[in-house]
Amino acid sequence: MKSIAIDIGGTTTTYGIVDDSGRIISKDSFLTRGPESLEEYLHLLKDGIRKMLSQADSESEIAGIGIGAPCANYITGEIDGATELPWPSPIPLKKIFENEFGVPVVVANDAKAAAIGEMQFGAAKGIRNFIMLTLGTGVGSGIVCDGHLLSGARGFAGELGHVSLSDSKMRKCNCGRYDCLQNYCSASGILETARLILKESDTASPLRDIPDNELSPKLIYDLAKEGDAVSVLIYEKTAEAIGKACASYAAFSDPEAFVFFGGVANAFDIMEPTMRKTMEENILFLYGNRIKLLQSTLNEADAALLGASALVFETLSK
C-alpha cells in the first residue's frame, strides 16, 4: 500500500510517495511562500504530485493522501488560523485534494501527524498508549489512547504546549496566558531560560561571548556536552519543566510512554535523567516508575512526511 504524504510548513512544503513500511519512494519540495496566491500554491502542489505519480507509475496504488500542516483540523479537514501561512483561513484541504485525486484525504496538525508516524514507524511502534511532545518553534502534542489519536469534540484535543505549569505568571505566552509548557520547552523558551540564568548569575561561560541573536538550543547543547556549567543548568531547568508537566499529564491518559521530537528534544540524552527524576518526584504513585521517556527514532528530515503518510494508513486500518 502507498500514500501521498504532504507536509505544509511555514517555510517549506514537502511532498512524496511513501509505502506502508515507511519507505519514502520519492519526494520533492518547494518554498511555501514562492507562489503568489493560494490558488497558485495549490496548482504547483497538485501538479508536482501528478508528475511524481506518473514517474513512479504509482497512481493506481495510492490508498490516500495524508497532510500535516499547522492548525490543520483532523475532524473538519481544514487549516484554520495558521499564522505561519500567508493565506486566509479556512482552507478546506481535505475537500480540495479529495476532489482532485479521488482518494481519501486525512488532515492533521504537525504534532498529531508526528504521533501517528511515531506509532507506525518510530519509537512508539507497538505502544498503544502514549503522548507525543514535539519541542520545536512551539510545543505541539498528540495523545494516543488505545491505539487511536484523540481528536476531541472539535479536533483540538492535545494542546499540551498550552497547559500552564505554574500560577506565578512568570512568562507571558503568545496565546495571551502565562507559563505554558511552550514558554519553557520550545526553542524560544529555552533561550529565555538561558538569558535569565546568564543575568541572574555571574558564573563564567562561553555563552556570555555569544551575541543574543546567535544563541540557539543547538549551540547551548554543544556547550553543555563540552561541560559548560551554565549550559548544563539551562538544559536542567528545561528538563525539570518537562518532567513536571509529564507527571501532571500522566493523570489524564495513563500513558505507557512519552515520546519527544524536535529541535529541543535533540538534547534528550542530557535532559533525560533530570526529566525522569522530576517526573518521578511529582507523579501520582499509581504511575510511578513505569512510564518510559523515549526520543523519536525517526530521521528529522523525513519525520513529517512519514507522519503524514501514517495518517492515511492509520485511518484506513480503523
Instruction: In whole angstroms, give the CA distance from residue 173 to residue 218.
Output: 22
Query: Is 175 an interacting residue with respect to its own copies (CB under 8 A)?
Result: yes
Instruction: In whole angstroms, give the CA distance from residue 182 to residue 174.
Output: 9
- Tell me which amino acid residue 37 is: S
- Tell me which amino acid residue 142 is: G
**Contacting its own copies (CB under 8 A), which of 143, 224, 265, 294?**
143
Of 208-267, binders to its own copies (CB under 8 A) are 248-249, 251-256
Binding mask 88-107 for its own copies (x = CB under 8 A): --------------------
Beta carbon of residue 72, minimum distance to its own copies (angstroms, whole number): 13
Half-sphere exposure of 16 (CA within 13 A, CB side): 23
Binding segment for its own copies among 25-33, 98-106, 168-176, 225-233 (CB under 8 A)?
168-176
Of 23-42, binders to its own copies (CB under 8 A) are none
DSSP string, 223-278: HHHTT-HHHHHHHHHHHHHHHHHHHHHHHHH--SEEEEESTGGGGHHHHHHHHHHH
Identify which of residues 12 and 129 has a Cβ nearer to its own copies in the complex: 129
Of 285-304, binders to its own copies (CB under 8 A) are 285-287, 290
Identify which of residues 65 and 123 has a Cβ nearer to its own copies in the complex: 123
**Contacting its own copies (CB under 8 A), which of 27, 33, 46, 177?**
177
Under a CB-based contact definition with an 8 Å cutoff, are residues 279 and 314 in contact? no
Instruction: In whole angstroms, give the CA distance from residue 197 to residue 234.
Output: 7
Identify which of residues 29 and 151 has a Cβ nearer to its own copies in the complex: 151
